[in-house]
Amino acid sequence: MGWWLPPAASTFAGPIDMLFLVILIITGIALVLVEVGLVVFIVKYRARPGRKAFYTHGSTRAEIIWTAIPAVTMVALGLVSNHYWVKMKDKDSVPADAYRVGVMGKQFEWQMTYSGTDGKLGTDDDFTVRNQLHITVNQPVAVELTAEDVIHSFFVPEFRVKQDAVPGMHIIAWFQATKTGEYEIGCAELCGMGHYKMRARVFVHTPEEFTAWMAQQAAGGAE
Amino acid sequence: MTSVAHAKPDAHGGGGHHAAMSFWQKYIFSTDHKIIGIQFLFVSLFFLLLGGLLAMQIRWQVGFPGKPMPGGGILPESMVSGGVILPEYYIQLVTMHGTFMVFFAIMPLLVGVYANFLIPLKLGAHDMAFPRINMWSFWLALLAGLIMLAGFFVPEGTSRAGWTMYAPLSARPDLSGATVGQMLWCVSIVVLGLSSVMGSVNYITTIINHRAPGMTWFRMPLSVWALFVTAILAVLALPVLQGAAIMLLFDQTIGTHFFDPVAGGQALLWQHLFWFFGHPEVYILILPAMGMVSDIISNGSRKPIFGYHSMVFAIVGIAFLGWIVWGHHMFMSGMNPTLGSTFMVSTLLIAVPSAIKVFNWMGTMWRGNLRLHVPMLNAIAFVSMFTIGGLSGIFMAATPVDIPIHDTYFIVAHLHYVLFGGSLFALFAAIPFWYPKMFGRMMDERLGKIHFWLTFVTYNLVFFPMHMIGMGGQMRRLYDPTIYDFLKPQQPLNEFITISAFALFAVQLIFAFNFLWSLKKGKVAPQNPWEDNGLEWSLPNPAPHGNWAPHTPNVYRGPYEFSAPESGDADFLPQTKKLPTDRDPVPAIPPAGH
Amino acid sequence: MKGRIFSVVGGMFLLTVCSKGDNSQVQAAPPAADTPPPATATAGSAAGGTITGKIKFTGTAPRNPAIDMSEEAACKAKYTTTPTEENVVAGPANALSNVFVYVSAGVPAGQTFTVPTTPVVLDQSGCRYHPHVFGVMVGQPVEIRNSDPVLHNIKAVAKKNRPFNVSQPSAGMKTTRTFTAPEVTVNLQCNVHGWMHAWVGVRPDPFFAVSGADGSFSITGLPPGTYTIEAWHEKFGTQTATVTIAGTETKTANLTFAAR
């Protein structure tokens, strides 16, 4: 089993995994300082006959240092994080040429709606498939998330993509897959007794495979 | 020698009741803050045990999905089938585990017990400002707990939308499957909120008005500061939850659609209301723990708290910032991403006062003369584990990193490190520390040390691997992770966690035994067994009804004067001890009506 | 002499032609691994009258969509050809099966009937309900079984009966439910497998049947009287007919739906 984040398969994974590592290093240093410090203090300063504790009420200088360093670190972390956050979640960041697919969550399945031959969602030639998201590799995809009944959440771990699907809301989640293959979609918001079974799959195709699949669907679906 | 001001005996002196009290008045319908605190203690420890039993069932199912649970046969067909936990029962389990632990175990253990027990004692007061309201606060909390418990015995069982109760799932019985049980959750929360607000009003008033002469604000122990700020949080936050719960109840019963878009409602409204309460709530669940740990670490180190004023400002800072971070629970919710940016900033900033506190606790231990008694061991573990919990929070505060880890076991690891590693270890410190004051006996030190070490080890074996499981992508509240191919490789780790959890639960029986056995068979406690400075230790054990009444003690110094030069051979200097160089404080003007 | 032979042979001929056949068997759509027992409750007196008939439709039946079970491998493995939904199950010469036929009027008010204690078995196999349409008496147990190693939930959408929603996460699980009020029909559905539907006709008396592959149905044990029978189909709506029974004879009532 892996002890790390799942293998990366989208353009978002680079920045997210990098940020994760940076935070791990920063918090790791802080953790070692605290835990080792505690152990050292327990051993070094345990009560012994004839010893007396050092009577002090504190140090303003120490307070300033250990306030300023965390504060500056947190501000820096926030600035870097926000740069990527806007790129991933802001509505204006969705690439104009992103391939649009409708994904609707309902108890207990995902329904994917494809735009058919006219390339536009919401027209008569749209068709809906249960639990299968077919997309092309290295192309931005914009998932138009809706929910029929309760809140669900569209989650593809390898893509580092997660977005709640909320009834009454129409939310865009965009990403770009970098590796062909099959990946799993899970529901990441408790939605009832079948929550654990809301598994679907993403099929990342080469452009030729995707065209072939679309043609097969137009001809009447899986046979 | 303790010097007490010779205040005029008044009608309320001696606790107010010179006539002999019946058993019922003394121990059941008591208005004595100490008895009320002890009542909360027994009831809350029961709910803590219940919460643990629910957790064991959850872990059984996650570790061994689809296998019949030992003892499962005694549960009804609506919950198990051939001993196998059913999905609809599983989501009741996760909902009720969270609900009971947050509202009926940790919150009343920290606040209901210790705010009630410690505040008048540590301030030199005879009782709370409003003793009868205080009594009602306990009975309402008990009633709320029983209403919540009743959910297991109604058709379709308890509520099942998670302790966070997201709408529309929670608002629509036809979608969740829960009917009466869902309504009971809402009613119970409204009643509990009432109990909380009543208690908080008492704590705030008593702290402002009933401090003994010489007990200035900056001579109050940090436990009292923390409880004061917590009470303010509670009085402002609980009513928001009560309002939201009533709206949810109306959606379920009388046809409103506050939270259901079916007729103009908004699903996200519930989340904003819930988390506007919910975030201050988690600070309610940690601040009293931090306060008591400060008292105990200073005592164990035989040193003043390092940076007392900074510690006070950090408590206030955490509480203040706690009001403006709620959206960090909603980064993936679909709310405007710009709000994600603002909440990220406030959330990252709230790490700073928490860091200040950790460094100050370390500073207290630095160059101390450490007495590693059971309370001190647990208090140091608090610092150690809370640090892990707080640091893991930074991952989720950084919004892009929250994308893969939101609603996974990474979050479950974080919340258990702060609530168990934090609050519960603090309780394992506080309970033996003030046990002699409550019951006149000591808990067994050796059993306490065995319990501490075994708990510390098994606890980390349970919850640390959950960080990895969450990074691997395992979502929360999943009945069967093996449905997903990408989660199958982690299943051995889930099994390991489950077995460690069974061990962790079993170890708590040592604490339960120690607690109960020591009530009658514990070593009789000396008056000040921990050689502590607090006012409460100037009273006999157990503390008598009315505390110092008809007198009121004088306070001559701050709470943490350990190893002060004036302490002479002893390494502690009680707040009430008058030295030749001390002058009597100006007697306080008695509050109106006393 | 010729006359006597004729009347004996003729009588035997009439007896053979007019004898009651046993075509009350409910047809399951595709064969299931575990064949359920007949779902028609014939608890009435065997010595009553019979209404029998064939159900057809006019026009072109819509195509039943194929079911893609790729996301549920354990169910897909049970099929050699692609399964389809069972919205319209047509037989030879536009025979219509899965029509729930019942006596909607004519049974004397207040008359009670023995409720069978043997349950009607509803099996989930290959991610489909077997049978797709069935009838049950008020108070008669329905035993729902899961023969698939995957989660099915059984959600009962009912107006006159108390709705329920229970899960069966693994094979071998059984749940029993009863209906307390007459209702035509209660929809049973699985939310994990959205194509799974079953329809239950709940009646206070045993006078109902479900049409078979050849469109035929038979309601037996009817006391003398004038009856209205109603035929219900999940896509084509309802049709009615009136039949009068005088004794123990068999009356025929054929019903025709218009495809839509």
- Return the CATH fold of A95-218: Immunoglobulin-like (2.60.40)
Those of residues 505-564 in B touching chain A at CB distance below 8 A are 562-564
Facing residue for A194 by CB, picked from C66, C71, C191: C191
Facing residue for C191 by CB, picked from A107, A222, A223: A107
ipTM: 0.96
- Give phi and psi for B366, each to the nearest 5: -60, 125
pLDDT of the residue at A3: 84
Q: Do B334 and A163 touch (CB under 8 A)?
A: yes
Q: Among A74, A71, A66, A97, which residue's Cα sits nearest to residue A174?
A: A97
Those of residues 9-48 in A touching chain B at CB distance below 8 A are 12, 15-16, 19-20, 23-24, 26-27, 30-31, 34-35, 37-38, 41-42, 45-48
Average of per-residue pLDDT across C202-213:
95
Q: Do A1 and B395 touch (CB under 8 A)?
A: no
Average of per-residue pLDDT across B536-542:
94
Residue of C nearest to A133 (CA): C71
**How far apart are the C-alpha atoms of B21 and B385, rounded to whole Å?**
45
Structural domain boundaries in chain B? 31-567
Q: Is the model's pLDDT at C26 over the cut of 50?
A: no
**How far apart are the C-alpha atoms of B375 and B300, rounded to whole Å?**
8
**How far apart are the C-alpha atoms of A131 and C69, rounded to whole Å?**
10
Kindly report, residue by residue over A24-40, the tens digit of the pLDDT: 999 999 999 999 999 99
Higher pLDDT, B220 or B82: B220
Q: Is the model's pLDDT at B433 over the cut of 80?
A: yes
Of A148-162, B479-493, C5-19, which gets the smallest average pLDDT?
A: C5-19
- HSE-CB at C260 with a 13 A cutoff on CA atoms is 9
How many angstroms away from the CA of A211 is the closest CA of chain B? 27
Average of per-residue pLDDT across A139-147:
97
Residue C37 pLDDT grade (very low, low, confident, very high; cuts 50, 70, 90): very low
How many angstroms away from the CA of C258 is the closest CA of chain B? 35
Q: Summarize chain B as % helix, strand, coil (round to 5).
A: 65, 5, 30
Please report all neighbours of A, defined by 3+ CB atom pairs within 8 A: B, C
Residue B567 pLDDT grade (very low, low, confident, very high; cuts 50, 70, 90): confident
Those of residues 171-210 in A touching chain B at CB distance below 8 A are 171, 183-184, 186-197, 199
Average of per-residue pLDDT across C59-80:
93
**Tally of CB atoms within 10 A around C91:** 18
Facing residue for A81 by CB, picked from B351, B392, B400: B400
Residue B22 pLDDT grade (very low, low, confident, very high; cuts 50, 70, 90): confident
Kindly report, residue by residue over B454-480, the tens digit of the pLDDT: 999 999 999 999 999 999 999 999 999
Average of per-residue pLDDT across B219-245:
98
DSSP H or E stretch at residue C111: none
CB distance from B155 to chain A under 8 Å? no
Question: Which residues touch C258 (CB under 8 Å, ≥6 apart)?
Answer: C57, C58, C59, C236
Kindly report, residue by residue over A72-121, the tens digit of the pLDDT: 999 999 999 999 999 999 999 999 999 999 999 999 999 999 998 788 88
Yes or no: say if B508 and B447 are a contact pair by the CB < 8 Å rule. Answer: no
Q: Which residues belong to CATH 1.10.287 in chain A?
A: 13-91
Q: Do C168 and B82 touch (CB under 8 A)?
A: no
CB distance from C71 to chain A under 8 Å? yes
**Tally of CB atoms within 10 A around B578:** 18
**How far apart are the C-alpha atoms of A25 and B579, rounded to whole Å?**
51
Average of per-residue pLDDT across B167-173:
96
**Tally of CB atoms within 10 A around B268:** 21
Q: Is the model's pLDDT at A53 over the cut of 90?
A: yes
Q: Among B106, B102, B134, B127, which residue's Cα sits nearest to residue B45?
A: B106
Average of per-residue pLDDT across B419-423:
97
**CA geometry: angle B115, B296, A36, nearest 5 deg:** 130
Kindly report, residue by residue over A146-197, the tens digit of the pLDDT: 999 999 999 999 999 999 999 999 999 999 999 999 999 999 999 999 999 9
Q: In percent, how much of chain C has pLDDT > 70? A: 82
Please report all neighbours of C, defined by 3+ CB atom pairs within 8 A: A, B
Those of residues 236-255 in C touching chain B at CB distance below 8 A are none
Within chain A, residue ranges assigned H as helices are: 13-44, 60-89, 207-218
Higher pLDDT, B132 or B6: B132
Facing residue for A222 by CB, picked from C68, C167, C194: C68
Q: Is the model's pLDDT at C14 over the cut of 60?
A: no
CB distance from C163 to chain B under 8 Å? yes
Kindly report, residue by residue over B253-297, the tens digit of the pLDDT: 999 999 999 889 999 999 999 999 999 999 999 999 999 999 999
In the numeric block, the tokens 């007896």 are attached to C15
Facing residue for B486 by CB, picked from A51, A168, A184: A184
**How far apart are the C-alpha atoms of B126 and B134, rounded to whole Å?**
14
**Tally of CB atoms within 10 A around A115:** 18
CB distance from A163 to chain B under 8 Å? yes
Residue A14 pLDDT grade (very low, low, confident, very high; cuts 50, 70, 90): very high
- Residues in C closer than 8 angstroms to A106, CB to CB, are 191
Q: Do B479 and C169 touch (CB under 8 A)?
A: yes
Facing residue for C165 by CB, picked from B77, B82, B177: B177
CB distance from B392 to chain A under 8 Å? yes
Of B20-24, B283-287, B308-312, B362-366, which gets the smallest average pLDDT?
A: B20-24
Residue of B nearest to A70 (CA): B352
**Three-state secondary structure readout of B472-540:** CCCECCCCCHHHCHHHHHHHHHHHHHHHHHHHHHHHHHHHHHHHHHHHHHCCECCCCCCCCCCHHHHCC
Q: Is the model's pLDDT at C33 over the cut of 80?
A: no
Q: Which residues belong to CATH 2.60.40.420 in chain A?
A: 95-218
Sort residue C226 into left (φ over 0), alpha (ψ -120 to 50) or beta: beta
Q: What is the DSSP string of C203-220?
A: ESSS-EEE--TTSEEEEE
Q: Among A56, A49, A59, A50, which residue's Cα sits nearest to residue B562?
A: A56
Sort residue B377 into left (φ over 0), alpha (ψ -120 to 50) or beta: alpha
Kindly report, residue by residue over B85-121, the tens digit of the pLDDT: 999 999 999 999 999 999 999 999 999 999 999 999 9
Q: What CATH architecture does domain A13-91 belong to?
A: Orthogonal Bundle (1.10)
Those of residues 216-255 in B touching chain C at CB distance below 8 A are none
Local structure of residue B587 (DSSP, 8 states): P
- Give phi and psi for C146, each to the nearest 5: -110, 115
Facing residue for B66 by CB, picked from C165, C166, C169: C169
Q: What average pLDDT is seen over chain C?
A: 85
Q: Do B344 and A84 touch (CB under 8 A)?
A: no
Average of per-residue pLDDT across B432-453:
98
Higher pLDDT, C15 or B410: B410
Q: Do B563 and A166 touch (CB under 8 A)?
A: no
- Return the CATH fold of B31-567: Cytochrome C Oxidase; Chain A (1.20.210)
**How far apart are the C-alpha atoms of B585 and B554, rounded to whole Å?**
7
Residue of C nearest to B479 (CA): C169
Average of per-residue pLDDT across C70-77:
95
CB distance from C157 to chain A under 8 Å? no
DSSP H or E stretch at residue B39: helix B33-63
Q: Do B86 and C167 touch (CB under 8 A)?
A: yes
- Residues in B closer than 8 angstroms to A199, CB to CB, are 483-484
Q: Is the model's pLDDT at C23 over the cut of 70?
A: no
